[in-house]
């Protein structure tokens, strides 16, 4: 070893000791990196300074040295809870779930370990596992935490348990209202979130209160069992499972967990959802479909509606809830089997009547808010044709690349360019120029 390297190493050791704030004197004590108690202390300091990753690393080393030490386990568990919540914020859901699971094993009595695991599972759309973890958070001291109860309400709502969700949200609301000062912004925001959720679920529960429940491999269905069609639930579930297979295969992604679905009668649908007359179904975290009754429903159009709405659910899951409206509507129409010629014909007809082609910005606003039927038809036709052309000219993996980029949190513009090799503005300009 050359003398300069030896000097460098010696210097590095001095720096390391200085960084830890420990004295180099006082030997022959155990070196800091071999002393679990010192490592725990360093982990706590790192955690307080906000350096969560290093805290976990240091505490893992302590755990290796003293696998049965309760203090070490507790400190590592606490650090993992922090790490998992940071990962959730960075949308690294799988890592967050793994670290939260590890935390729960180490500190099963800490409500926040269960809570962060419940939220990670919610993000993975594993509603049942999410509700179970959040319930354990409640049982381990998190029962007076409004945020825990609010998340539990969201998970139960996704499991179609409206009554359970209402009870949790009402309790959360009372807790926030009792504690909040007038100028507490975070509390006001949480109250707003809870009130919106309560208003929506109460309106739905008026209609869905007496509905029956059905389950299949990938769907949890609620439907009006008192209607004239005893076979309706089973029929819709089998159409949903078909859609899961075919759309999942085409797109190369499948939603994790269970997708909640509610099937209404035509009039009940308007009452529960408040949508315009032209809406044939919708996805708002649950697939909602109006059915006039199997006897009068056209099986092909029921299949098309189910496939269309399932495509929305899948895109929501695979794209992290960030897939633009026009892209969703275009792909949903492609998957439901709408013919290109049909959309071309609609577009020609509407343009003859004087309706213009939408700008890019119009394609990114919610179609369900548009009132004029003709305008809506133009938006759907253009979305459909754009997606068909896009997928015809790009490689087979472009679609999954696009969804993965969106799920990873990349902005929609760069994600589009990365996957399809062009900008949306250029692609749209070419499309308009050819018409």
Tell me if 403 contacts Zn ion by CB under 5 A.
Answer: no
Nearer to Zn ion, 310 or 402 (CB): 310
**Residue among 102 and 329 whose Cβ is closer to Zn ion:** 329
Q: How far is the CB of 332 from Zn ion (least distance, A)?
A: 5
Binding string, residues 365-384; x marks residues near Zn ion by CB under 5 A: --------------------
Q: What angle do CA 184, 180, 79 make, to 5 degrees?
A: 75
Of the candidates 297, 367, 359, the residue with the CA atom closest to the CA atom of residue 332: 367
C-beta closer to Zn ion: residue 229 or 329: 329
Could you tell me the smallest distance in angstroms from the CB atom of residue 318 to Zn ion? 16
Q: Build a one-symbol-per-residue string for 158-187: x at contacts with Zn ion by CB under 5 A, - elsewhere.
A: ------------------------------
| Beta carbon nearer to Zn ion, 172 or 332 | 332
**Total chain residues near Zn ion (CB under 5 A):** 2
Closest separation in Å from C-beta 248 to Zn ion:
17
Q: Which residue is nearest to Zn ion (CB)?
A: 332
Q: Which is nearer to Zn ion, 161 or 329 (CB)?
A: 329
Q: Whose Cβ is closer to Zn ion: residue 268's or residue 329's?
A: 329
Q: Which two tokens stand for residue 158?
A: 């996704």
| Cα–Cα distance measured from residue 109 to residue 377, given in angstroms and rounded to the nearest whole number | 56
Instruction: List the x/- string, 310-349, binding to Zn ion by CB under 5 A.
Output: -------------------x--x-----------------
CB of 392 to Zn ion, least distance (A): 21
356: left (phi over 0), alpha (psi -120 to 50) or beta: beta
Burial 250-283 (b: 16+ CB within 10 A, else e): ebebebebbbbbbbbbeebbbebbebeeebebbb
Find the shortest distance in angstroms from Cβ 367 to Zn ion: 7
Which of 337, 332, 232 minimizes the C-alpha distance to 292?
232
- Nearest residue (CB) to Zn ion, 306 versus 332: 332
CA 142/CA 266 separation, integer angstroms: 41
Complex with Zn ion: residue 121 or 384, whichever CB lies closer: 384
Strands (E), 245-389: 259-264, 282-283, 287-290
Residue 423 CB, shortest distance to Zn ion, in Å, is 24
CA distance 88 to 93: 6
- Residue 212 has which token pair? 């029956």
Give the three-class secondary structure for 422.
coil
Please report how close the Cβ of residue 394 comes to Zn ion at its closest, in angstroms: 22
Q: How far is the CB of 180 from Zn ion (least distance, A)?
A: 39
Cα distances (angstroms) measured from residue 12 to each of 9, 19, 82: 5, 10, 30
Interface contacts to Zn ion, rule CB under 5 A: 329, 332
């Amino acid at each position: 070893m050359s003398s300069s390297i030896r000097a460098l190493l010696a210097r590095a050791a001095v720096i390391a000791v200085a960084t830890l704030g420990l004295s180099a004197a006082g030997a022959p004590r155990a070196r800091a990196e071999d002393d679990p108690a010192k490592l725990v202390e360093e982990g706590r300091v790192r955690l307080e300074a906000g350096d969560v990753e290093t805290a976990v690393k240091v505490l893992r080393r302590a755990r290796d040295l003293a696998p049965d030490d309760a203090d070490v386990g507790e400190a590592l568990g606490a650090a993992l809870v922090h790490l998992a919540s940071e990962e959730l914020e960075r949308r690294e859901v799988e890592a967050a779930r793994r670290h939260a699971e590890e935390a729960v094993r180490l500190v099963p009595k800490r409500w926040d370990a269960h809570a962060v695991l419940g939220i990670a599972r919610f993000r993975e759309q594993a509603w049942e596992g999410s509700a179970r973890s959040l319930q354990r958070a409640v049982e381990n001291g998190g029962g007076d935490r409004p945020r825990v109860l609010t998340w539990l309400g969201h998970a139960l709502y996704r499991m179609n348990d409206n009554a359970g969700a209402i009870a949790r949200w009402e309790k959360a609301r009372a807790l926030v209202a009792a504690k909040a000062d007038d100028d507490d912004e975070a509390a006001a925001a949480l109250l707003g979130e809870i009130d919106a959720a309560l208003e929506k679920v109460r309106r739905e529960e008026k209609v869905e209160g007496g509905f029956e429940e059905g389950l299949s491999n990938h769907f949890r269905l609620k439907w009006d069992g008192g209607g004239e069609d005893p076979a309706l639930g089973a029929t819709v579930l089998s159409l949903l499972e078909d859609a899961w297979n075919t759309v999942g295969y085409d797109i190369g992604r499948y939603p994790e967990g269970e997708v909640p679905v509610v099937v209404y009668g035509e009039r009940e649908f308007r009452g529960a959802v408040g949508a315009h007359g032209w809406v044939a179904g919708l996805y708002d975290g649950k697939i909602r479909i109006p059915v006039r009754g199997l006897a009068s429903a056209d099986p092909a159009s029921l299949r098309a509606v189910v496939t269309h709405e399932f495509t929305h659910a899948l895109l929501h899951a695979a794209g992290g809830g960030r897939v633009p409206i026009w892209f969703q509507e275009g792909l949903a129409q492609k998957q439901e089997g709408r013919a290109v010629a049909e959309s071309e014909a609609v577009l020609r007809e509407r343009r003859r009547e004087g309706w213009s082609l939408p700008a890019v910005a119009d394609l990114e606003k919610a179609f369900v808010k548009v009132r004029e039927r003709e305008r809506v038809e133009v938006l759907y036709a253009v979305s459909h044709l754009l997606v068909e052309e896009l997928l015809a000219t790009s490689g087979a993996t472009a679609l999954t690349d696009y969804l993965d980029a969106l799920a990873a949190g990349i902005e929609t513009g760069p994600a589009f360019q990365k996957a399809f090799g062009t900008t949306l503005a250029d692609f749209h300009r070419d499309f308009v120029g050819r018409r």
